[in-house]
Structure formats: C-alpha cells, structure tokens
Amino acid sequence: MNLFEAKHPLNVKKSDLSGSMFSNVNFSGANIENVNFSGASFDDVNMSGWRVNDVNLSGLRVAKANLAGAAISASRMDGMTIDGMLVSELIDFWRAAHPAHTAQEV
C-alpha cells in the first residue's frame, strides 16, 4: 500500500507491517502499544516529549542525540554505558562523593 501526502488517522491492529518504510511522516500524538520494533532504525527523528514505559531497550544504541531533560528511573541498567563508562560505576562514584543524598534523590 502506498500513501503519499495523505492525512488520515490509521487504526492498525494485529497486523504485520514488517519491512515498511516511513519517510517525512508526522506521528505526533500517535499511540503505539504492544508493538515489535526489534531491528528498527530511527534516523533524524524528533522524539521530544516521548514517554516510554515497560519497554525492552536492551541493545539500544543512541548517538548524536539531544538528551537534555531526559530522565531514567526504576529501570534495569546492567551493562549500560555513557561514552564507554558504566553507569553503575558513575552512580556509585557520585553517591560516594555525596553521602547525604538518598537513592530517591538521584
């Protein structure tokens, strides 16, 4: 199916859209639930204001991203790195230097 310069909300359920290509598409306000994006690639994408909950981001690679204001909480971060440094070690280092702070404040 080809759509060009169309403006229609789509209600897609129990469908296989693997191999699809979306280019210059406005998904603002879209609700995406129980979707398999494994192996998907996002390039030059505005994800500002995104909320993700109960998602598997293992193996995620983020580069050249604007993470200003980003927040991660109540998440498994085993092996997660920032610029090659283990996040767990960075958090431990910070906590050692700031013993007055609790884990909830970090």
pLDDT band at 76 (very low <50, low <70, confident <90, very high): very high
CA distance 71 to 75: 11
What average pLDDT does range 83-98 have in this prediction?
A: 93
pLDDT band at 105 (very low <50, low <70, confident <90, very high): low
Phi, psi of 103 (to 5 degrees): -60, -30
Dihedral through CA 82, CA 58, CA 40, CA 25, nearest 10? -60
What average pLDDT does range 16-35 have in this prediction?
A: 92
What average pLDDT does range 70-96 have in this prediction?
A: 93
90 burial via Cβ count (<10 Å: 0-12, 13-18, 19+): middle
pLDDT of 32 above 70? yes
